[in-house]
Amino acid sequence: MADLSAYPITSRWPAQNPDILQLYSTPTPNGVKVSIMLEETGLPYEPHFINIGENETWTPEFLSLNPNGKIPAILDPDGPGGQPLALFESGAILIYLAEKTGKLLPADPARRYETIQWLMFQMGGLGPMFGQLGFFHKFAGREIEDKRPLERYVKESARIIRVLETRLEGRDWIMGDDYTIADISMLGWVRNLIGFYGAGDLVRYDELKTVPNWLERGLARPAVERGLNIPARV
């Protein structure tokens, strides 16, 4: 049995089965990237719910794994060379899991980097912009009298989702016939934009064709449906 006692996070969230990958997360758009990926690959794992509403990511135990205090994070007892590996940042985790399992990232070098390119598009643009739009439209940002921040993020989110619309023309998935980590990275964010954030009208979502069809295909996948609710809220 693997010994994970060197990782303080396991003192607060003990591993019931330390021989399998440990996931520390919350079912937010960033968090579900990893749970969906794990469900898609079939890699055994143990999820731990991190209550971000109670600031559990700022506890010493969580910060010992991710000094940036954000979910998701993983602890893989069977990392490179058979040694435990702690990893944070959802994009890095997706690439790691794809390479570990040989799934959902093309082997061809050119297509591999093209896939990673679209993953970075989500990490650097789509996710942050949709998140800021959600803040200023749904949460505390609504109290700010100056509407220029909201207007900025509405405009940029509308532009970004049309980049995705164009990319998906003639394609089922971002990489054509291949469903990849690029799709996994974006599904939860687009779902949140029009659902939880209620911002569909702001970005004129009803004018789009390829993105809604892509989202419907993605949400119909059993692994996506499961991953969207993992870890279970407690």
Same domain, 144 and 193: yes
State yes or no: pLDDT of 231 exceeds 90: yes
Let me know if residue 66 belongs to a domain. Answer: yes
DSSP readout, 88-150?
Answer: ESHHHHHHHHHHHHT-SS-SSHHHHHHHHHHHHHIIIIIHHHHHHHHHHHHSGGGG-S--HHH
Instruction: Kindly tell me the burial class for residue 2, based on how many C-beta atoms sit within 10 Å of its own C-beta (0-12, 13-18, 19 or more).
Output: middle
pLDDT the model gives residue 38: 98
State yes or no: pLDDT of 1 exceeds 80: no
When divided into structural domains, the chain yields a total of 2
What token pair was written down for 141?
């940002």
pLDDT the model gives residue 69: 98
Let me know if residue 26 belongs to a domain. Answer: yes
Cis check for the bond before 72: say yes or no (omega within 30 of 0).
yes
Count the Cβ atoms, other than its own, within 10 Å of residue 149: 14
Which residues contact residue 225 at a Cβ distance below 8 angstroms, ignoring those fewer than 6 apart? 219
Categorize the per-residue pLDDT at 37 as very low, low, confident or very high, splitting at 50, 70 and 90: very high
**Lowest-confidence pick of 1-10, 50-59, 69-78, 105-114:** 1-10
pLDDT digit string, tens, across residues 164-200: 999 999 999 999 999 999 999 999 999 999 999 999 9
Return d(Cα 227, Cα 59) in angstroms, integer: 25
pLDDT the model gives residue 140: 79
Same domain, 172 and 212: yes
DSSP structural state of residue 73 = E
Higher pLDDT, 211 or 2: 211
Domain boundary pick from 56, 79, 104: 104
> Are 32 and 227 in contact, with CB atoms under 8 Å apart?
yes
Dihedral, CA of residue 126, residue 128, residue 131 and residue 137, to nearest 10: -90
Let me know if residue 234 belongs to a domain. Answer: no
Same domain, 125 and 57: no
Categorize the per-residue pLDDT at 142 as very low, low, confident or very high, splitting at 50, 70 and 90: confident
Return d(Cα 112, Cα 101) in angstroms, integer: 15
Which residues contact residue 38 at a Cβ distance below 8 angstroms, ignoring those fewer than 6 apart? 21, 23, 45, 97, 227, 230
pLDDT digit string, tens, across residues 117-134: 999 999 999 999 999 999
Task: Tell me what the mean pLDDT of segment 72-93 comes to.
Answer: 97
Domain boundary pick from 104, 136, 158: 104
Q: Where are the beta strands (DSSP E) in the chain?
A: 21-25, 45-49, 73-76, 85-88
pLDDT the model gives residue 144: 84
Which residues does residue 25 pair with via DSSP β-bridges, in sequence order?
49
Let me know if residue 4 belongs to a domain. Answer: no
Mean pLDDT of the chain: 97
- In terms of residue numbers, what domain contains 215? 109-221
Same domain, 80 and 146: no
The CATH number for 64's domain is 3.40.30.10
pLDDT the model gives residue 143: 82
